[in-house]
């Protein structure tokens, strides 16, 4: 095994041994850092392009992230589906544990909050690493 594979294997074992609040604290920071590195800016640009219209935002996001689907299922609920995992660590094969999927939920929350300027709640419904055919999230917007 190369260094990064070994290192990430140790990281995942450590993550899996943490209690849920500690794991959430760490993965929230990781998800927010990931958002700052690229995706939050794309969400902000898409929101500006959409002119403040949530439906147009979702269309714009789908065009920017072609392996994703964004569906407004209710006035305050957006369903987000990733047909392929967007995590660089998973794509590189360094992480295969479903524990990391919580990071993706925090990343999606940070992205929507950066674009909309409001607090949202994101729930991970299923993921490819958890045996699902896709990664599925529910984003709740404030009423």
* C-beta atoms surrounding 120 within 10 Å: 18
Could you tell me the CATH number of the domain that includes residue 50? 3.30.1380.20
pLDDT string in tens for the chain (143-residue length): 699 989 999 999 999 999 999 999 999 999 999 999 999 999 999 999 999 999 999 999 999 999 999 999 999 999 999 999 989 999 999 999 999 999 999 999 999 999 999 999 999 999 999 999 999 999 999 98
135-140 and 77-82 strand pairing: antiparallel
If one counts the domains in the chain, the total is 1
- State the pLDDT at residue 1: 61
Question: What pLDDT score does 143 carry?
Answer: 86
Domain residues for the domain of 134 are 3-140
DSSP symbol at 142: P
Sequence-separated (6 or more) residues with CB below 8 Å from residue 57? 46, 47, 50, 70, 115
Q: What is the pTM of this model?
A: 0.95
Strands (E), the chain: 68-74, 77-82, 121-126, 135-140
Number of H helices, E strands in the chain: 6, 4
Q: How far is the C-alpha of 97 from the C-alpha of 74, rounded, in Å?
A: 32
Give whole-number Cα distances, 115 to 5, 9, 86, 97, 109, in Å.
Answer: 34, 33, 19, 29, 10
**Residue carrying structure tokens 């991970």:** 124
């Amino acid at each position: 095994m190369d260094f990064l594979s070994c290192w990430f294997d140790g990281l995942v074992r450590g993550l899996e041994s943490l209690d849920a609040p500690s794991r959430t604290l760490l993965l929230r920071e990781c998800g927010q850092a990931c958002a700052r590195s690229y995706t939050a800016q794309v969400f902000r640009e898409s929101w500006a392009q959409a002119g403040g219209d949530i439906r147009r935002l979702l269309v714009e996001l789908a065009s920017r992230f072609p392996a994703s689907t964004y569906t407004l299922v209710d006035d305050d609920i957006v369903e987000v589906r990733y047909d392929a995992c967007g995590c660089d660590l998973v794509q590189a094969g360094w992480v295969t544990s479903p524990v990391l999927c919580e990071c993706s939920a925090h990343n999606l929350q940070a992205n929507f909050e950066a674009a909309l300027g409001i607090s949202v709640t994101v729930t991970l419904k299923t993921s490819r690493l958890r045996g699902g055919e896709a990664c599925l999230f529910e984003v709740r917007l404030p009423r």
